[in-house]
């Protein structure tokens, strides 16, 4: 169990970093939509619409590390499995 | 004087005293927008609003006499972060339920300069936000596009009026978290309005 939680903590931390980096390493807050600008040819006005897109930010990264720390911390409540020592007769 | 002599005179009189046109700013294309920006430590808070309606009276022969009222629906203000969006509309900030409209009523124009179809001026009017009304003055640019409505909306004839304005307001003057969160969100809000209105030919 101890080992499982430690591996899970590593997966959560690495998964968070990889997801964050793969989506553009946004160093601002997490966004669930991004503005899209469209030009109106007649008036010259740039219209703004929002496209749904998950863009993880530093708070996402923090949550991933926090989750990983919790899992790693929880692993200390479990003892290492005892291994049978060979006995010399 | 014969009646035939009166007709050109009447036409000339009508042209000189042409009534100002009423431009409707409910945009069928949905591109009209108001952009707002506030500085904050990690990143500036950028958002926009597109729930814009209103009417402006504009006379191409006398742009300095322009008056009108533009309304922005508070609920249409959007920022890309969902938590910030919730805070923005909540009673802690805009209180969009209690104060559903943000309005600007233009009263007068000063320093009016017209070149071709473009007029620049300083507009003074009443800005209402969060239940508080203050008088503000801001630079404004009016672009009159005669007979261009058909290019934008097929089967409709008329003129377009494009209004652009950039101004700053202080949220504390509108009783929005006065003296609070000054280290997290700036008190100055940059506003940028880009809107087009239509006057349908009769």
Residue A28 lies in a domain: yes
Query: What is the per-residue pLDDT across B19-29, written as a single tens digit (0 to 9) for each?
Result: 899 999 999 88
Q: Is B108 on the interface with A (CB under 8 A)?
A: no
| Residue in this structure with the two tokens 């969902």, named with its chain if needed | B82
Residue A40 lies in a domain: yes
In the predicted structure, residue B17 carries a pLDDT above the cut 80: no
Residue A36 lies in a domain: yes
Structure tokens, B171? 């949220």
Bridge partner list, B21: B58
Residue A82 lies in a domain: no
| Residue in this structure with the two tokens 């300069």, named with its chain if needed | B113
* B77 vs B66: CA distance, rounded Å: 27
Provide the 8-state DSSP code for B30.
-
Q: Are B112 and B63 in contact (CB under 8 A)?
A: yes
Interface test with B, best of A31, A37, A43 (most B CBs within 10 A): A43
The burial class, CB within 10 Å (0-12 / 13-18 / 19+), for B101 is middle
Give the minimum alpha-carbon distance from A27 to chain B in angstroms, rounded to a whole number.
8
How confident is the model at residue B2, as a pLDDT? 55
> In chain B, what are the domains?
19-200 (2.40.128.110)
- Count how many domains chain A has: 1
Give the minimum alpha-carbon distance from A57 to chain B in angstroms, rounded to a whole number.
10
Q: What is the mean pLDDT of residues B50-67?
A: 95
Bridge partner list, B136: B125
Q: Is B84 on the interface with A (CB under 8 A)?
A: yes
Residue A70 lies in a domain: yes
In the predicted structure, residue B13 carries a pLDDT above the cut 70: no
Whether residues B29 and A30 touch (CB distance < 8 A) is answered with no
Residue A86 lies in a domain: no
How confident is the model at residue B155, as a pLDDT? 87
**Range with lowest mean pLDDT among A68-72, B40-44, B68-72, B122-126:** B40-44
Q: Are B142 and B159 in contact (CB under 8 A)?
A: no
The mean of the pLDDT values for chain B is: 90
Residue A89 lies in a domain: no
* A44 vs A58: CA distance, rounded Å: 36
Residue A88 lies in a domain: no
What is the model's pTM? 0.82
Bridge partner list, B28: none
* B47 vs B190: CA distance, rounded Å: 11
B12: pLDDT confidence band, cut at 50, 70 and 90? very low
How confident is the model at residue A86, as a pLDDT? 64
Q: Which residues form the domain of A59?
A: 2-77
Give the minimum alpha-carbon distance from B11 to chain A in angstroms, rounded to a whole number.
31
């Amino acid at each position: 169990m101890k080992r499982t939680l430690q591996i899970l903590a590593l997966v959560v931390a690495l998964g968070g970093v990889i997801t964050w980096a793969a989506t553009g390493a946004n160093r601002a807050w997490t966004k669930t939509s991004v503005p899209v600008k469209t030009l109106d040819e007649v008036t010259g006005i740039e219209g703004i619409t929002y496209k749904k897109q998950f863009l993880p930010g530093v708070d996402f990264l923090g949550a991933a590390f926090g989750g990983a720390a919790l899992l790693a911390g929880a692993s200390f409540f479990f003892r290492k499995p005892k291994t049978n020592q060979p006995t010399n007769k | 004087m014969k009646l035939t002599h009166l007709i050109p005179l009447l036409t000339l009189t009508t042209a000189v005293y042409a009534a100002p046109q009423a431009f409707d700013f409910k945009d069928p294309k949905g591109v009209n927008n108001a952009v707002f920006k506030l500085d904050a430590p990690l990143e500036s808070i950028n958002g926009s609003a597109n729930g814009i309606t209103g009417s402006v009276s504009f006379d191409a022969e006398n742009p300095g006499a322009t008056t009108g009222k533009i309304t922005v629906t508070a609920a249409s203000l959007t920022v890309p972060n969902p938590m910030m969006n919730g805070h923005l509309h909540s009673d802690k900030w805009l209180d969009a339920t209690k104060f559903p409209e943000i309005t600007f009523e233009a009263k007068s124009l000063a320093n009016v300069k017209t070149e071709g179809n473009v007029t620049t001026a300083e507009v003074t009017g009443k800005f209402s936000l969060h239940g508080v009304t203050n008088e503000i003055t801001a630079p404004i640019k009016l672009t009159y596009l005669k007979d261009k409505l058909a290019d934008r909306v097929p089967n409709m004839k008329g003129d377009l009026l494009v209004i652009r304005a950039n101004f700053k307001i202080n949220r504390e003057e509108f009783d929005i978290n006065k003296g609070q969160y000054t280290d997290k969100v700036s008190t100055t809000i940059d506003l940028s309005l880009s809107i087009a209105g239509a006057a349908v030919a009769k």
